[in-house]
Structure 1
Amino acid sequence: MECRLCLGPAPAESSVSIFGDPHPERLEQRIRTCCQIQAKRSDGLPDTVCLSCKTNLELLISFRKACFRSNEKSQLRLDDCLKIKTEEVLLEDVIWDDEPSQPTIHRKNSEICLKPFPNKSKLVLHKRSHTGENLFKCDICLKSFIRKNTLVKHLRTHTGEKPYKCEISLKSFTQKTGLEKHKKLHSGMKLYKCDICLKSFVRKSNLVRHLKTHMGEKPYKCEICLKSFSDKSSLKVHIKLHAGIKTHICDICLKSFVRRCSLVTHLKTHMGEKPYKCEICLKSFSAKYYTKQHENLHAGILHKCDICLKPFTQKSGLEIHKTLHAGILHKCDICLKSFVQKCTLVRHLKTHTGEKPYKCEICLKSFSVKYNFKQH
């Protein structure tokens, strides 16, 4: 396989199809516009582009956009100098399916608003946000909206109404776009690929979050334990662990979880479902995460503490161990005994309250800890 642009080698695992892009004819049109090359499906020439050429093409497009933005600023300065009242400035450009047209410029009071709009009708709607004309207001939180249908969607956040339901998993959504994104999970379509490790994702937002792991960027920090995260959503889930908020409850054993994915994994233990298998010893597991942990044992992959060099088979075990060096302990308010893990403290508190929720069906003996119950 050859690259259409440079005729260099373009193997299937590291190339991009000109006609297989998620946005119809996007890559084909960009090649025609920027390189003046006409690519057709049936022309008998290579229909793939290597990653290097694709990167260069993206850089060319970014440079082109930067030139248009600079031109807009120059026009604005010229208009201010000549004191010309500018209502709209339309810039001639090629419009691609996946990007907005060049911005129309209008004035917000005495200042200039540079928000881009693909057509004049959307610009007129946007101007209402500046003038306050014909705004639709929510009677509950008094938030205002330009369109009535946006207000209707917003009201669902107060009423909890979710009219769009997935036929496969029966999960409900407040908006149709949310349902469409969810359906891609069932179809297995992973259109967004990482150029570094070639890992694929269903959503673009997941790819953006994944790229931060390669860059090592973790701007979101927990104020309690100072642990850093690459995205805000992961930090929010982590804070729930400190607060003890577990909203996802198992209907069978009433065990609660912070994450919905953890509940789904837990339900497989009740059904006896173990779809993930170790390729070496053929042992089965209910979750992919447990399979990877198990395979690390075969590979001899260990996580070592930077301070005392103690090895751990699981990364989670290393994180718990690090709290010993950091001096982060969970203390019992009754006997002042300290514990490394919060779950151990919760288990310990049952010894003070006398709570014994685990009962043997054979001899009816009760236990405060599940581990002791299983041993019995």
Structure 2
Amino acid sequence: MECRLCLGPAPAASSVSIFGDPHPERLEQRIRTCCQIQVKRGDGLPDRVCLSCKTSLELLISFRKACFRNNESSQLRLDDCSKIKTEEVLLEDLIWDDEPSQSTIQRKNSEMCLKSFPSESELILHKRSHPGEKLFKCDICLKSFIRKNGLVSHLRSHKGENTYKCEICLKTFTKKSFLDNHKKLHVVIKPHKCKICLKSFITKTKLVLHLRSHTGEKPYKCEICLKSFTQKSSLGTHTKLHAGIKPHKCDICLKSFIYKLGLVSHLRSHTGENPYKCEICLKPFTQKSHLVTHKKLHAVIKPHKCDICLKSFISKSKLMSHLRSHTGEKPYKCEICLKSFSHNSSLGAHKKMHAGI
């Protein structure tokens, strides 16, 4: 389990297969292009790459593309300049002071939003904020960014690299802004209060998001299925379902996930790790959400009621499962014999019969 590029350790949990990359520009092709190394399946050499080398390779690919793009842009400008005829410049037309001319000021105005900037470089950077001008693209998930440091920061989320650490609890973050918001939790400063339920929040943004739980506002809508969401991040997660983008794959059962957190949670089903424990009955759980649902059993809170038989349930998912007993719906189908089941657990037990378990 060595890395093909640096020969460092490359365990399954922190490395990727060279021949299992779903990206259109496959990993073996990138290695051949950037490193001039011939990679062939079954050549007897390591067939995995550690996450550190993978990120370095992605940055190299981005740099290579930027060089080609900039070279092409320079060539176009040179061709344009060669078409301009040389004109005689009169002495009185020259500008001798540091005051910019009116034509220079006009050139530094954005044609799209008419906003003005003191320098040409700032104008160019601003123009990228308009649609179609995000030049720095992630080769893993194809997300684009206006600035290069935005892309570098984003790549840490794929690599799992956290460079900013809290001095109090040692928790790490990919961005300094995330760390700054986290530090406010330790000093318990929550200046933004909800006027409806009096709940307090660290930032105004979190308060605005919370208020949507009272108003029912869902401003972010999916263009494919028209489903609405209260947060932009929730819409981003949802659109990945339509695109089928699941970059995080389990090396044991090959199941894929949209986010790394989902993969980490899934791996506990293979390792048997249960980090979340009930303080009352000491029952362990693999996920925090399962623990929260379990605690309602002790508190006897069943907020979800069936409108047909008035039976109550702890969670909405249990209510939905119960409703199938009234409707007769069986959404879980066996791919082998096509038999249908009302519960996923019943399908799982059925599949073991085919496997002879």
TM-score category (smaller protein): 0.3 to 0.5
| Larger RCO (CA under 8 A, 6+ residues apart) | 2
